[in-house]
Amino acid sequence: MNTLSFDSKRCERIRQQLDSYLSNELLVETATEIVRHLESCEACSRDLESRMRVRDALQRAVAKQPVPDSVRAGVLRNLRESQSRSLGTTGRRWAVGLAAIAFLLFSLFGGEWLSLRRGQQVIASILKLGISDHLICAIKGHNYPELANSPDQIRKKLGASYAPLLRVVQERLPGFEVLEGHVCSVPGSDRKYVHFITRGQGTILSVILTERNGASLPKGKFLASAESAGLSIYEDHLSGMEIAGFESAQYFAFVVSDLSQHQVLQVARELAPALNEKLHVTGHILTPIANDGVADSMNLRILTETTQCDEKSRCRVQEQRQNA
Amino acid sequence: MPHLADLYRTASLLLRDRHEAEDLIQDTYLEAWKSFHRFEMGTNCRAWLFKIMFHRLHHVRRRLVKTSRVVTIDDPDGQVELAAEPVVPQEIRDEDVLNALAKVAVEFREIVLLADVEEFSYKEIAETLRIPLGTVMSRLSRGRKLLRQELAEVARSYGIDPRPKRAGAAEIA
């Protein structure tokens, strides 16, 4: 067996899972394996990109399809007619009346369920990607130095927009040392993460921020596990990792670690109010980096170089470039 | 009216007839209204409505089967052939992707719509269509590939080579 046939088989195996990867149906471990393969395989990466392009184009095209007014009018007319036909006896009238009230309530609040469901899907997806980022960048990629980078180095890597967040993370995570801070992304996704890697309580803990891009955490108690100064803290766990987070005006913020659920929630509760305040105060400069015309060149360079950095060697190169 | 637009768009793309789609939506909401006592509050009402719609849709299909010859497409094994992977255009127009979707057999089209547009999970799709999870996965894989093939065909019909112009970007054989 030569190298090419080995790679072909690996590519074939990966591509057989790309559809499930695209649908966010894989376990984090499998998704991580795919992500690592995509890093080194241009053909598979191009394949995924092509599949994402088609899916995005389809979503856009379908969303633009007009819905004639006659559809809604027809449904209402049909319901009214059915209700009139049903109004035979007093007993049935009560039953129909109650059903109509229930359906009316359902109609009024159904949108809430939709937004909740979509919110859950979005959050599940973001949480999974957040955990992937922690696993790939911090745990497997070991993208942090044994001796913590200096605050100046970290601020430089974060760029002017995100540098002010460092102090918040330092101050609100007592017992945790901030080893690293940068902007990164998971291969196969356009989502960017502001990533702080900290060490404490015998393990590594990540603080990750990512743009909301209009998405919202669902309002209500369904995913919220706790509150902190009026902020709802959301929690989930995957692959032995606990994740807890909240939303600010523009960002989702998460704490990810293999600490216990209680510990991770506690850290998130400590961090949330101050981080939210800082994000709020500096919100006007925290524009998305990809569209940030005023982002300084250093910021963009760091983003480029840390993007998809899941290999230690690559990050060493990055470190060398930045030191040079 | 909750989810009306989502349901109508899906129905019209599956039936490809505006009036039939409107009828289906009316039937769906009427059925939902009548069986609302069976809806469990706190569960996903959007999935519930889609389930009702697809149940009605299968009735419509059964009627169509009696009046016309319908070729049933068995699931292929869903194997991905590297060499035959279609290369889709870099820029995809709305009308092209909708035309390409219309050419995909309805058994695959419905799953592509449920997974990629409505973003239902595999489990929800399996429950909605009453088919095994494995069938959802294989049909989705096949459906997406058919869609890419159709898009590649559209590009070729315009005389456009959809392959990206990259030096040394040889496909793995």
Structural contact between residues A156 and A145, judged by C-beta atoms closer than 8 angstroms: no
CB pairs under 8 A between A and B: 148
Chain B residue with the nearest C-alpha to that of A65 = B9
Average pLDDT, integer, range B135-147? 95
Q: Assign B101 a pLDDT band (cuts: 50, 70, 90).
A: very high
The fraction of chain B above a pLDDT of 70, given in percent, is 75
DSSP string, A122-146: HHHHHHHHHHHHIIIIIIIS--S-S
- Would the CB atoms of A111 and B2 count as touching at under 8 Å? yes
CB contact under 8 A, B33 and A8: no
CB atoms B88 and A53 under 8 Å: yes
In a domain, A25, yes or no: yes
Complex ipTM value: 0.84
Comparing CA positions, the residue from A40, A62, A44 lying closest to residue A52 is: A44
CA distance A38 to A311: 12
Residue A317 exposure: Cα atoms within 13 Å on the Cβ side:
9
User: B14 in contact with A at a CB cutoff of 8 Å?
Assistant: no
Domain co-membership, A160 together with A20:
no
Q: Per-residue pLDDT averaged across B68-93, rounded?
A: 56
Position A128 in a domain: yes
B87 — pLDDT class (breaks 50, 70, 90): confident
Is the pLDDT reported for residue B122 higher than 90?
Answer: yes
A42-91: pLDDT as tens digits: 889 888 888 988 998 999 999 999 999 898 888 888 877 776 666 555 45
A222 near A174, Cβ under 8 Å?
A: no
The nearest alpha carbon in chain A to B32 belongs to A103
Q: Is B144 on the interface with A (CB under 8 A)?
A: yes
Q: What distance in Å separates the CA atoms of residue A86 and residue A95, rounded to the nearest whole number?
A: 10
Inter-residue contact A78 to B26 (CB < 8 Å): yes
Number of domains in chain A: 2
Which residues in chain A have Cβ-Cβ distances shorter than 8 Å to B98?
61-62, 65
What residues of chain A, 20 to 39, have a C-beta less than 8 Å from chain B? 20, 23, 25
The predicted structure's pLDDT at residue A311: 36
Whether residue B35 lies within 8 A of chain A, CB to CB, comes out as no
Among all chains, which residue has been given the structure tokens 């494995």?
Answer: B134
Does residue A74 fall inside a structural domain?
A: no
Assess whether A151 and A45 both reside in one domain: no
Q: Do B82 and A103 count as a contact with CB atoms less than 8 A apart? A: no
Out of A13-27, A116-130, A300-314, the most confident range is A13-27
Averaged pLDDT of chain B: 79
User: pLDDT confidence of A196, banded at 50, 70, 90?
Assistant: very high
> B40 — contact with chain A (CB < 8 Å)?
no
Q: Say whether both A118 and A262 belong to one domain.
A: yes
Distance between CA atoms of residues A12 and B126, nearest Å: 26
For residue A84, being part of any structural domain is answered with no
Same domain, A152 and A266: yes
Please compute, for residue A177, the number of CA atoms within 13 A of its CA located in the half-sphere on the CB side. Answer: 12
Q: Is residue A35 part of a domain?
A: yes
Which run of H or of E encompasses A212? none
pLDDT of B20 over the 50 cut:
yes
Averaged pLDDT, A164-192: 84
Name the A residues in 97-136 with CB < 8 Å from any B CB: 99-100, 102-103, 106-107, 110-111, 113-114, 117-118, 121
pLDDT of residue A111: 47
DSSP conformation class of A2? -
DSSP string of chain B, one letter each residue: -TTHHHHHHHHHHHH--HHHHHHHHHHHHHHHHHTGGG--TTS-HHHHHHHHHHHHHHHHHHHHHHHS----------PPPSTT-----SS--HHHHHHHHHTS-HHHHHHHIIIIIS---HHHHHHHHT--HHHHHHHHHHHHHHHHHHHHHHHHHTT---S---TT-PPP-
Q: Does A105 reside within a domain? A: no
Residue in B1, B18, B36 closest to A72 by CB: B1
Residue of A nearest to B134 (CA): A20
Percentage, residues of chain A above pLDDT 70: 60
Q: According to the model, what pLDDT value does residue A281 have?
A: 67
Confidence at B77, pLDDT banded by 50, 70, 90: very low
Residue A237 falls inside a structural domain: yes
A250 shares a domain with A121:
yes
Q: Residue A197: which of A261, A232, A244, A145 has the closest Cα?
A: A145
- A92 phi and psi angles, rounded to 5 deg: -70, -35
**Residue in B15, B33, B96 to test binding to A, most A beta-carbons within 10 Å:** B33
Predicted confidence band of residue A176 (pLDDT cuts 50, 70, 90): very high
Other CB atoms within 10 Å distance of the CB of residue B70 = 12
Give the domain extent around A53.
Answer: 1-64
At residue A143, φ and ψ (nearest 5 deg) are -85, 50
- Report, in angstroms and rounded to the nearest whole number, the Rg of chain A calculated over CA atoms: 24
A173 and A254 together in one domain: yes
DSSP state of A181: E
The pLDDT assigned to A291 comes to 32
State which residue of chain B sits closest to A62, comparing Cα positions: B9
**CA atoms within 13 A of residue A116's CA, in its CB half-sphere:** 18
A58 contacts B112 by C-beta, under 8 angstroms: yes
Instruction: Between B8 and A29, name the one with better pLDDT.
Output: B8
Sign, CA dihedral A150-A154-A160-A162, equals negative
Q: What pLDDT is attached to residue A223? A: 46
Highest mean predicted confidence (pLDDT) among A13-27, A185-199, B149-163:
A13-27
A5 and A143 belong to one structural domain: no
Rounded to a whole number of angstroms, the distance between the first and last alpha carbons of chain A is 43
pLDDT band at B145; cut points 50, 70, 90: very high
What is the 8-class DSSP label of residue A250?
S
pLDDT for the residue A102:
52
- Asked if A54 and A151 sit in the same domain, the reply is no
Predicted confidence at residue A107, as pLDDT, reads 52
- Which residues in chain B are contacts of A5 at CB distance < 8 A? none
Beta-carbon contacts of residue A184 (< 8 Å; ≥ 6 apart): A133, A137, A143, A192, A193, A195, A306, A307, A308, A309
Torsional sign, CA B81, A309, A239, A232: negative
Where b means 16+ CB within 10 Å and e means fewer, B97-110 reads bbebbeebebbbbb
Query: Would A315 be classed as within a structural domain?
Result: no
Alpha carbons A255 and A235: distance in angstroms, whole number: 9
- The CATH number of the domain holding residue A292 is 3.30.200.100
The closest alpha carbon to A131, from A241, A21, A35, belongs to A241
Q: pLDDT tens digit string along A227-265?
A: 666 777 877 766 667 888 888 878 888 888 888 888 888
